Structure 1
Amino acid sequence: MSAQSMRRSDWLLLCLLALLWGVSFFFIAVVLPSVPAFTLVTVRLALAALALAGVMRLRGIRLPRGARAWGGLAMLGLLNNALPFSLVALAQGTIDSGLASVLNATVPLFTVVLARIATSAERLTPARLGGVAAGMAGVAVMVGSGALSGGPGQAGAQMLSLAAAFFYATGTVFARRIVPGGLSPVAMAFGQLSMATLLLLPLSLLFDAPWTLPMPPPHALAALVVLALMSTAGAYLIYFRLLISAGPVNLQLVTFMIPVTALLLGVLVLGEVLVARQIAGMALIALGLVLIDGRLLRRR
């Protein structure tokens, strides 16, 4: 069986998801000086879960039922949120947000391999492999040769980012296998985020002792709220809808788009200037997306 194809609406949602997750690295960098990593992630998840609980109440959506459903959502919360969110936050204590987002773009490489092992619906074709290779090359060109240099601390933080990418890929590939069908995207997102909150709360209490911390400044609180409501609650509503309609490999194309999103935001909002390697990197990423999507090749 061939991989799922992408509709125009899927691509639009994918671009919106790339925007929401692209700015999340910036918001994390704003909050981290005032809030330790485990507490940051726990509050982020808890606020997002509360927001989705409100959405469920307004729309009359029932909570998931049964031990199997909640067990699957707990596993998904561990793989998709608790582990990777914490690893990214810990890594960003050492490396900057741009490099963290670039390393996050390795998710499709892990996803393609894991999806091929886990399901026959995501067949590895030469075009798809070529698309992943082109996307990875584009990311490498964009980041440049000097970004991965540094001492042991830098190397360790980069490994944390790569481990986070692996867990993101694992959670996405196995989401439809470990969670029972029939749940709405809102219920899946709420269940995942609420279970991840419960998993991380003990670590926050044990390692950060948040009751002893001073109140963060207003700009950090504002960034944390936006991170929770837009880049977490809103993003995961889109995520689960795309997981159903586009499949796990297509969904993880978003991580190729996140460095591009961050770069374009810098140009449009901060007045930064594009250089030749960044334009070349975006061209390679665009080529990779076209190859993985496959529709232009089928038409030819």
Structure 2
Amino acid sequence: MTTPKMTGGDWGIILFLSLLWGGAFLMIALGLRSFPPITLAFMRMALAVPFMLLALKYLGQRLPTDGRSWRKLFVLGGLNAAFPFMLFFWGQSYISTGLGSILNATTPLWGVVLAHLFTRDEKATPSRILGVLLGLAGIVVMVGTGALKGMTSDVLAQIACLSATVLYALAAIYGRTLSQSTMTPIVVATGQVFTAAILILPFMMVFDHPWTLPFPRWDAWIGAIGLAIPSTAFAYFLYFRLIDRAGASNAMLVAFIMPVVAIFLGVVALGESVSVKEMLGATLIALGLVAIDGRLFAKLAPRRSVH
């Protein structure tokens, strides 16, 4: 068995997700100006729920009513949102955005390994392993070695971010089993966000004491709302649809493209320049994506055999 092949539509979803989640790093930074990490994670989930429920109603769908489905949704909500968000938001409050993006980009690496161990149709191949390594190298080159200066300090924050990426990878694999059940992608996405909010709530009450916080700044509200609506409500629907169509490890390729999107947005919105290292990093990432996709190699292999 081989990993499901990517179509042009699948790549389109990945690129659009990279826009939504690439901008999430800025939204997190804004939100953390007023909200503690756990509170911000809760707001991201809680503010997204009403919009997702409205979308369900518009589409004529509803959340499941049986206990078995809800148990699965609570597992997914914990793996893909509640615990990784709390870990990553806390970690990003101590380390640089550049280092955070490098750590976040390890998600596909864990995904290839875990999918090989726990799935039948997403086994690791030499080209996929090579692609993951090329992609990680591209992220490091693009962000720059300066971001790695923090590797000797704030070790707990780095471990928290890496732990979050492992949970993301597990969630992508588990989420595919749910999306292939009787639950549709938007039902899975809505159930995950709803259960994640429930799971985060007691941690927020115990550790953040939100009733004692001063009134948040306006830019922090922009960050929280930006995380909740485009980067959660809309993005998760697309993400689970992509997992259902293209497989878990393919869906996690979005982690490679998000830093590229961040540079592009910096050039367009802030007038920043693109350096040689950023161009080289983007090239390595592109080569990694080609290797993981595998279609180019498959087309070239017969030609080599003829000669």
TM-score by length of 2: 0.94
Matches within 5 A, 1:62-81: 62-81=62-81
Three-state SS of the structure 2 residue aligned to 1:149 is helix
Alignment of 1:75-90 (within 5 A): 75-90=75-90
Whether 2:210 is the aligned partner of 1:192: answer no
Distance 1:179 1:247 in 2: 10
Q: What SS class does the counterpart of residue 150 from structure 1 fall into?
A: helix
2:127 corresponding residue in structure 1: 127
- In 1, Cα distance between the equivalents of 2:150 and 2:16? 33
Identity of aligned residues (%): 44
* Structure 2 partner of 1:224: 224
* Segment of structure 1 superposing worse, 36-45 or 216-225: 216-225
Cα deviation 1:93-136 (Å, max 9, x = unaligned): 11232321221000000000000000120121111111111111
Q: Is the 8 A contact 1:73 1:188 kept in 2?
A: yes
What SS does the aligned partner of 1:122 have? coil
Q: 5+ residue gaps in structure 2?
A: 301-307
Post-superposition offset of 1:205:
0.8
Unaligned runs of 5+ in 1: none
Paired with 2:125 and 2:169, the residues of 1 have a C-alpha distance of: 19
Cα distance in structure 1, aligned partners of 2:172 and 2:43: 23
Q: Is the 8 A contact 2:142 2:277 kept in 1?
A: yes
2:17/2:235 contact within 8 Å kept: yes
> Which whole-Å CA distance do the structure 1 matches of 2:268 and 2:16 have between them?
16
SS at match of 2:82: helix
Using the TM superposition, give the Cα deviation of residue 22 of structure 1 relative to its aligned residue in structure 2, in angstroms: 0.7
- Residue 142 of structure 2 is aligned to residue 142 of structure 1: yes
Provide the residue aligned with 2:30 in structure 1.
30
Code of the aligned partner of 1:71? R
* Deviation digits for residues 43-102 of structure 1 (CA, Å, limit 9, x no counterpart): 110111121011111222121131111101100000000111111110111123232122
> Which residue does 2:290 correspond to in 1?
290
User: Residue 225 of structure 1: CA displacement?
Assistant: 0.9
Residue 44 of structure 1 contacts residue 225 of structure 1 at CA under 8 Å; is this kept in 2? yes
Secondary structure in 2 aligned to 1:193? helix
Which residue is equivalent to 2:13? 13
Alpha-carbon offset, residue 152 of structure 1:
5.8
1:12-55, Cα deviation, whole Å (9 max, x unpaired): 01000011111111111011120111111111101111210111
- Superposed, 1:85-164 pairs within 5 Å as 85-150=85-150, 153-164=153-164
Q: Which residue of 1 is the match for residue 203 of structure 2?
A: 203
Alpha-carbon distance in structure 2 between the residues aligned to 1:179 and 1:272: 40
Whether the 8 Å contact between 2:29 and 2:223 is mirrored in structure 1 is: no
Q: Say if 2:108 and 2:169, in contact at 8 Å, map to a contact too.
A: yes
| Cα distance in 2 for residues equivalent to 1:186 and 1:79 | 17
Distance 2:276 2:183 in 1: 46
Q: Residue 305 of structure 2 corresponds to which residue in structure 1?
A: none
Q: Is residue 165 of structure 1 aligned with residue 165 of structure 2? A: yes
2:234 matched to 1:234?
A: yes
How much does 1:227 deviate? 1.1
- Within 2, Cα distance between the matches of 1:54 and 1:178? 21
Report the secondary structure of 1:60's partner residue: coil
Q: Distance in 1 between matches of 2:212 and 2:118?
A: 45
In 1, Cα distance between the equivalents of 2:182 and 2:208?
38
RMSD, matched Cα = 1.4
> Secondary structure of 1:123's match?
coil
**TM-score, length-normalised on structure 1?**
0.96
The 4+ residue runs of structure 1 with deviation greater than 6 A are none
2:71 & 2:82 partners in 1: Cα distance? 15
